[in-house]
Chain A
């Protein structure tokens, strides 16, 4: 048995595609959202991208290989994917041209103690919740006050509450938490057996392998691991329908590490499970809904990628490569500091409850060109994005995602499949007063007309031909024709 040789070479910098330019950012009133982007007007020679390529032809000194060469050695019909052994992956930090960023991008700094206090009145109430959420969406929260601010974002504390009320709430909630725990400890032997099999068995295995590299959970018999364990077990008692799903430990651990108190963390986690959509849902239909929206969003924003998925059939449209992104809200895709910034941006529920889907699209837009260019198959895509984990630039992805949301909100019309992305989430959605038209793009079984009031008046979207435009068309993004 001969294991094949490992092969790692680093590639030189490719000349890269130019991006959808400034013109693509401005919607024209009569624009159709499905038209391909205008040719890029901004050349971005500094921008870089990640790339897989085959090293079949690489030279022994590992010098750079022109992309075209790589392509011939990696034909799209290639059956096997993988290849730790044979593909090379190089990552450079791409940059976003200013035309591709949200216009308010630079208006916010990180929320630090003094700005945080300025959001509170003398009773400790958040003056203007929307402003706070917006500030967090753009600037994030300074590590030193995360433990204080997260409970608001996770809706454990109401922004209207005074400091005094919050203290009273904490006392009351601590009591409730203890009651839940008592309920768990008072199970009959029979109940306990079932609980052990359905919940505890997996929780016990998972807590000892969650965030162990984090100082807070490091070492043998760490009491914080035991806290995490109790929170998860108690949660399964509190909400037996959801119980425990793998991934929950990954979500609760960072909260515990910031909020510190076990009962407070429990209630923050309860809020997280109720108010976020990327939750580790045990239900098929929740995941299906996310994937459905994501596919629609990709069709709208990155047609070539969407078409690639379609060409792969059912397995491609399942988008296996992004399931972990959704389940753990990108926790394993980025180093912790960046991942938590993404969490905060999602938790801010600024203008959408589905910001995590814009993050997905941003990743695909920034790091997915090779998938299309090399026509990667389902398994290859899984490997491509799997290997990007911890090598992507989280700040960049966030900025791109914010800009995608901005553009989404400027669309003259949105397909009815994405209607729910625009549902009001607190104050502020469509706050400019501008409302896009809803356009029916799908079949609604069991319903005569579009349940979202969408109208049909358009020819089917025209797909840009792959390969025809070369790398220039690789980031059509949102397209508007003037």
Chain B
């Protein structure tokens, strides 16, 4: 049942160069590790429909360069994001040190209410670890972030990270803390929603035939 979903969330993946942002995205979308991945230039983009707490949610995930230079790009990139994966590399203190700056960007350029999950990526490289779990959890707590250590290589906690973020947004919608109809909320109603904000789409309402693909 492609193209039917209750909500669409715009997600960002942010963090320093080489932390594995694109690989996390790729692992989440394709369920495999992206070998020979090259550094992202400009903006890339992926999406997947997931089922969270009985709701179908389409996650539209934006991925950009770790070394972003253009304010103009940054504005369009952050605009209207509902959630973000804030990524650092557990084997690189430098990437951990820049988290605060990334977080400030997300909260000022997207929305103060953006739901952020901190991801300590490259969990599989534990012997080379430079940032402890405890230290990062403390940072997460202080900044009101969710936190997981992930591995884009093995896939560990990758799906969980995206789903956890989506679940939190849904909870906030349920509790009224987030209003999907507010401009720039990063949330849109999808086709299957009871709330048809736009004209009904009869073409898509028909039972989809198997695609054979």
A residues apposed to B, CB below 8 Å: 1-9, 54-62, 72-73, 75, 77, 79-86, 197, 201-202, 205-206, 209-210, 212-213, 245-247, 249-250, 281-284, 287-288, 291, 314-315, 318, 320, 323-324, 327-328, 332, 378-379, 382-383, 386
Contact = CB atoms under 8 A, between A and B. Distances in A.
B2 A7 contact: yes
A61 B209 CA distance: 11
User: Which 10 A-B pairs have CB atoms at the shortest separation, nearest pair first?
Assistant: A324-B42, A205-B18, A60-B212, A82-B47, A323-B42, A4-B49, A7-B211, A86-B2, A8-B213, A73-B203
Contacts of B58: 80
B47 A62 contact: no
B37 to A, nearest CB: 6
A315 B79 contact: yes
B208 interface: yes
B199 A246 contact: no
26 contacts: A1-B50, A1-B52, A3-B50, A4-B2, A6-B213, A7-B211, A58-B212, A60-B212, A77-B199, A80-B5, A80-B188, A80-B190, A83-B47, A84-B46, A202-B67, A205-B39, A246-B65, A284-B70, A287-B69, A287-B72, A315-B79, A318-B75, A320-B43, A323-B70, A378-B76, A382-B43
A292 to B, nearest CB: 11
B36 A209 contact: yes
A318 B73 contact: yes
Given A56-B204, A79-B188, A212-B36, A85 B2 contact: yes
Given A83-B47, A206-B17, A62 B212 contact: yes
Contacts of A383: 45
Contacts of A73: 203-204
Given A80-B8, A197-B94, A320-B42, A85 B49 contact: yes
Contacts of B77: 320
Given A4-B2, A77-B198, A284 B213 contact: no
B71 interface: yes
B18 A202 contact: yes
A85 B3 CA distance: 8
A327 B41 contact: yes
Contacts of A327: 41-42
Per DSSP, are chain A's interface residues mostly helix, strand or loop, or mixed? loop
A117 B35 CA distance: 43
B83 interface: no
Contacts of B213: 6-9, 55, 58, 62
Contacts of B46: 82, 84
B45 A379 contact: yes
Interface residues of B, number: 57
A328 B41 contact: yes
A425 B187 CA distance: 49
B39 A2 contact: no
Given A212-B36, A318-B72, A58 B209 contact: yes
A12 B206 CA distance: 23
Contacts of B175: none
Interface centre among A80, A250, A320 (most CB of B within 10 A): A80
A315 B17 contact: no
B210 to A, nearest CB: 5
Nearest to B5: A80
Nearest to B71: A284
Nearest to B53: A1
Interface in B2-22: 2-3, 5, 8, 17-18
B128 to A, nearest CB: 15
A247 B41 contact: yes
B108 interface: no
B47 A386 contact: no
Contacts of A56: 2-3, 203-204, 208
Nearest to A318: B76
Nearest to B17: A202
Interface in B22-41: 29, 36-39, 41
